[in-house]
């Protein structure tokens, strides 16, 4: 399939004019659901750029709040973690960290247990398949190179527990760490009001090989894992989604003396749905709301393809479903800064999606599979009418810890490789150094690095002397 570059350039034309359309809103007793609408063909380059921008997060003020927490945990350790947990979560902890091996496997309802077991099996199978075989390449006679992987020794997994408990995130993060062979796996999650661990999170943690559970959330949990405390092992990389304070702590600590890496920058949850006249309005509304309910700062985008889509039916479904959701108020607030765009065809729709680079991309159009090859920027893609985003969030096997805020343009979601580090190994024989050495010496000479050159030439001289000696015998 050829990609029409002339058509793609339409979105960048400065001659096009801006034309917003206000979507019909629905007022109910509890929530008000509405989304602004625009036509892509009438937007200028700068207007499209503005449209793909996310709501701005003022990290400067958040850093002001988070920095003292990080400093306190560094200096006071477990004491600070207990103090902040009591202040923010209203829980007094007698013990900050639990050794998972010492905790009994919690009893779950059989239906719930089966659901998590199916999810575990699918996530494990998909991530196990990501293991790569080691390859050794002989670039020149006697010059052999290879790349080998090793697990990151200690990792920290953040599992949110504020407005919603997310045991699925425990599976998404702990399973690839288990397959990679990470020796120390610390899972941080806010405690219950009784100071215990959510039983579903504990079940997932035990199944997936977590070694320690830190009963804390927020910036204090991230700091404890980054610096280490008397009871919490220091980790070398931190994974997982979280609120703006968690994100800020990860950003600060990866650039600090803590010497810790993070998985990716993270922002509020988001989804972009591409739908044509064949898409069921009920499904479209449900998919949009499945991300909007995460929180008021979530963003959902609907890209309508062609003129045959019944937008009124979609709007009515959004209003109907939103009002019946327990988290409908969150969804309503998210919809207030979300939007619909009208695309003339799939080329224009996909072009905008690639610019927007969504965390989740749903392609709910006729023959959806044929468009997959044109998708360049997305965290995870859901193809066809029977693939709701929810399956990826829970149990299809793919990972739901994904780049948001447009970072899908340069970041990937969490995978097995996220828990590995890679080393290159080279080995030369005497013949190999004779073959390659003169070229290396020349390049070192050009760069003025005489010690580099000498490390080669001294060996070459010894090889030459040995050869001459053997010839005289």
Q: From the CB of residue 451, how many other CB atoms can be counted at a distance below 10 Å?
A: 7
Residue 203's contacts (CB-CB under 8 Å, 6 or more residues apart) are: 105, 106, 108, 113, 116, 167
> What are the Cα distances from residue 467, in Å, to 22, 140, 440, 462, 470?
85, 21, 21, 9, 5
CA distance 401 to 394: 11
Let me know if 376 is a catalytic residue: no
Q: Which two tokens stand for residue 329?
A: 């108020």
pLDDT, tens digit only, all 473 positions of the chain: 333 333 433 333 322 223 343 333 434 444 455 688 999 999 999 999 999 988 777 889 999 999 999 999 999 999 999 999 999 999 999 999 999 999 999 999 999 999 999 999 999 999 999 999 999 999 999 999 999 999 999 999 999 987 678 999 999 999 999 999 999 999 999 999 999 999 999 999 999 999 999 999 999 999 999 999 999 999 999 999 998 999 999 999 999 999 999 999 888 899 999 999 999 999 999 999 999 898 888 899 999 999 999 999 999 999 999 999 988 888 888 888 899 999 999 999 999 999 999 999 999 999 999 999 999 999 999 999 999 999 999 999 999 999 999 999 999 999 999 999 999 999 999 999 999 999 999 999 999 999 999 999 999 999 999 998 888 87
CB 94 within 8 A of CB 195: yes
**CB half-sphere exposure, 148, CA atoms < 13 A:** 5
Cβ neighbors of 267 (< 8 A, separation 6 or more) are 54, 57, 247, 404, 405, 407
Antiparallel, parallel or unpaired: β 339-343 and 154-158: unpaired
In the block, residue with structure tokens 């890496």: 261
Tell me the three-class secondary structure of 40-90, residue by residue. HHHCCHHHHHHHHCCCCCCHHHHHHHHHHHHHHHHHHCHHHHHHHHHHHHC
The CA-atom distances, in angstroms, between 110 and each of 106, 116, 448 are 12, 10, 70
Whether 102 is catalytic is: no
Catalytic residue (choose from 236, 359, 389, 400): 359
Short-list 224, 184, 202, CA closest to 85: 224
Q: At what angle do helices 59-76 and 244-253 cross, to 10 degrees?
A: 70
Contact 338/301 with Cβ under 8 angstroms? Answer: yes
Cα separation of 45 and 16, whole Å? Answer: 8
**362 contacts 379 by C-beta, under 8 angstroms:** no
pTM (whole model) above 0.85? yes
How far are the Cα atoms of 7, 40, 166, 353 from residue 51, in angstroms, in the given order?
Answer: 19, 10, 31, 11
Name beta bridge partners: 426. 145
Q: Which entry of 348, 360, 389, 400 is annotated as an active-site residue? A: 360
């Amino acid at each position: 399939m050829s990609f029409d570059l002339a058509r793609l350039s339409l979105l960048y034309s400065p001659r096009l004019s801006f034309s917003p359309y206000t979507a019909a809103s629905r007022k109910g007793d509890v929530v008000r659901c509405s989304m602004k609408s625009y036509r892509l063909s009438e937007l200028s380059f700068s207007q499209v750029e503005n449209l793909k921008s996310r709501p701005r997060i003022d990290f400067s003020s958040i850093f002001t709040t988070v920095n003292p927490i990080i400093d306190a945990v560094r200096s006071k350790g477990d004491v600070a973690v207990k103090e902040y947990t009591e202040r923010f979560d209203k829980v007094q902890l007698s013990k900050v960290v639990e050794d998972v091996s010492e905790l009994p496997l919690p009893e779950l309802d059989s239906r719930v247990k089966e659901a998590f077991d199916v999810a575990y099996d699918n996530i494990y199978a998909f991530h196990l398949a990501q293991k790569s075989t080691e390859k050794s390449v002989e670039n020149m006679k006697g010059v052999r190179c290879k790349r080998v992987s090793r697990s990151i020794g200690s990792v920290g997994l953040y599992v949110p527990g504020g407005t919603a408990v997310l045991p699925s995130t425990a599976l998404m993060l702990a399973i690839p760490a288990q397959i990679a062979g990470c020796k120390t796996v610390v899972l941080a999650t806010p405690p219950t009001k009784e100071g215990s661990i959510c039983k579903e999170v504990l079940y997932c943690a035990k199944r997936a090989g977590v070694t320690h559970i830190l009963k804390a959330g927020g910036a204090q949990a991230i700091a404890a894992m980054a610096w280490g405390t008397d009871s919490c092992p220091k980790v070398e990389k931190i994974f997982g989604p979280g609120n703006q304070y968690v994100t800020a702590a990860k950003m600060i600590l990866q650039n600090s003396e803590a010497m810790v890496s993070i998985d990716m920058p993270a922002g509020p949850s988001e989804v972009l749905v591409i739908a044509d006249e064949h898409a069921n309005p009920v499904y479209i509304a449900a998919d949009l709301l499945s991300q909007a309910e995460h929180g008021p700062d979530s963003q959902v985008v609907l890209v309508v393809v062609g003129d045959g889509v019944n937008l009124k039916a979609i709007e009515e479904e959004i209003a109907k479903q939103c009002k019946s959701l327990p988290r409908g108020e969150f969804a309503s607030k998210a919809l207030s800064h979300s939007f619909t765009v009208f695309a003339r065809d799939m080329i224009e729709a996909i072009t905008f999606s690639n610019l927007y680079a969504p965390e989740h991309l749903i392609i709910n159009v006729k023959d959806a599979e044929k468009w997959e090859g044109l998708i360049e920027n997305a965290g995870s893609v859901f193809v066809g009418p029977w693939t709701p985003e929810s399956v990826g969030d829970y149990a299809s096997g793919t990972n739901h810890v994904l780049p948001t805020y447009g970072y899908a343009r340069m970041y990937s979601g969490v995978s097995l490789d996220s828990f590995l580090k890679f080393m290159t190994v080279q080995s030369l024989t005497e013949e190999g150094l004779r073959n390659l050495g003169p070229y290396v010496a020349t390049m070192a000479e050009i760069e003025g690095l005489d010690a580099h050159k000498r490390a080669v030439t001294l060996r070459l001289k010894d090889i030459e002397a040995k050869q001459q000696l053997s010839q005289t015998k």
